[in-house]
Amino acid sequence: MFEVPTDRKYQESHEYATTDGETATVGITDFAQDELGDVVFVELPAVGDEISQGEEFGVVESIKAVSDLYAPVSGTVTAVNEDLFDRPELVNEEPYGDGWMLEVEVGDDAEFDELLSADDYREQTE
């Protein structure tokens, strides 16, 4: 059974976002990290870059697979988890904690509302 915390929302392509109304934290789900296996490389945008909901914003690679990352929300990147460059395995160990990827300044609550609830996402992974 995979962890699907109810304090955030999800995208079908297995990214999550949390938001306090101004800043969203973005990462990939427990299900996604398990599917990928040992994560060995993460490519992320720089602070100041714009990302758009549904569009690629980076790449995550495990030993066996290369996977594009799709933005769950639109906005300006305000922080990048640089720890992942040296310790990409954090994505496996704590996908919802220290394995986070980006912080994004968001303007559009409607976008966040469109994302899947924890229950709907869990259903998709079962």
Partner 1 sequence: MALRKPPLYDVYATDATFTGFGGWDMPVEFESIRAEHEAVRDSVGIFDVSHMGEIVVSGPDATLLMQRLTSNDVEALSPGESQYSAITDESGVIVDDTIVYRLPEAEDRYLFVPNAGHDEAAYRRWVDHRDEWDLDSEVRNETDAWAMVAVQGPDAAEAVDHATDADVAPLSWGDVIRADVAGVGSLVSRTGYTGEDGFEIICPTDEVEPVWSDFAADCTPCGLGSRDTLRTEMGFLLSGQDFDPDSEPRTPYEAGIGWTVALDTDFVGRDALATVAEEGVEETFVGLLLRERGIARHGHEIVDDGDVVGHVTSGTMSPTLGEPIALGYVPTSLSEPGTELSVVVRGQEKRAEIVTTPFIEDN
- Please report, as ranges, the residues that interact with partner 1 according to CB under 8 A: 37-38, 40-41, 43, 59, 61-64, 66, 85
Identity (one letter) of the amino acid at 31? F
Check: CB of residue 1 under 8 Å from CB of residue 125. no
Which C-beta is closer to partner 1: that of 1 or that of 110?
1
Q: What are phi and psi of 84, to 5 degrees?
A: -70, -20
- Kindly state the smallest distance separating residue 25's Cβ from partner 1, in Å: 23
Which C-beta is closer to partner 1: that of 82 or that of 120?
82
Which C-beta is closer to partner 1: that of 18 or that of 33?
33
- Kindly state the smallest distance separating residue 43's Cβ from partner 1, in Å: 8
- Kindly state the smallest distance separating residue 8's Cβ from partner 1, in Å: 26
Q: Which two tokens stand for residue 120?
A: 């709907």
In a 10 Å sphere around its CB, with 0-12 CB exposed, 13-18 middle and 19+ buried, how is residue 78 labelled? middle
